[in-house]
Amino acid sequence: MRSSTPFVALLASLWLAATCASQTEAPGAAADAGATELLTSACERALAGLAPDPEPPPAALPPELGPAARALHGTGMGARVIALETALERSTRLALADAKPWLETAAAKFEPERAKLADSDDALSAAFRSASERELREQLAPAAARHLEETGAPAALASVRDGASRLPLPRSIDLDLVSVVTDRAVRSFFDALAEQERRIRQERVALQGGR
């Protein structure tokens, strides 16, 4: 029995070391899992809010076209502007729907730096944007090109250009539709993602009784 005592002590020491190590790593692992769950939930909600819609609310044209758009509205040709805005918004949502599987996978695999997660209520979204925006644009651009014809955006743009040429002070309309839709999709998604992250954080605080 005496000869077994050192061996038993060694086993006990190894068990204690393993236990301490697992307890030390657990909070970090839990934090990582919590961040992943938060991001994937926010991503799911953001994409649901931007799902394709046959009649989405028209979104404003790029600011540089604002003067021409206002002039068209003021001369009874506002319907042309609304048709283009609606087609661009439909194209944006359809492109995001195509990118949904990629976004969901990217969100599930994302590993943020823990030190940055407490910076703000949307720190996780900001970190994800910094890490994934370039690749997301690569996913969205061909999707945007595919859907523009489907939504009638080129014809709507031609109508706006025709109307602008008829104004008392004719205006030229220079618009890269693929770039506009890609930019709009990126901005819409990450704005919605940040908003959903803030909401989920607020919901969690409320469930914990405001702590």
Q: How far apart are CA 54 and CA 90, in angstroms?
A: 7
Q: What is the mean pLDDT of the chain?
A: 85
From residue 161, alpha-carbon distances to 165, 167, 202 in Å are: 6, 10, 46
Name the nearest CA neighbour of 86 among 60, 66, 51, 65.
Answer: 60
Residue 37 domain flag: yes
Q: Give the model confidence (pLDDT) of 174-201 as tens digits.
A: 899 999 999 999 999 999 999 999 999 9
Structural domain of 144: 30-207
Q: Give the model confidence (pLDDT) of 92-141 as tens digits.
A: 999 999 999 999 999 999 988 764 566 688 999 999 999 999 999 999 99
Q: Give the model confidence (pLDDT) of 2-35 as tens digits.
A: 555 665 554 455 455 444 444 444 444 445 668 8
- Number of domains making up the chain: 1
pLDDT confidence of residue 172: 83
pLDDT confidence of residue 25: 42
Residue 1 domain flag: no
Residue 179 domain flag: yes
Residue 99 domain flag: yes
Residue 117 domain flag: yes
pLDDT confidence of residue 62: 87
Residue 24 domain flag: no
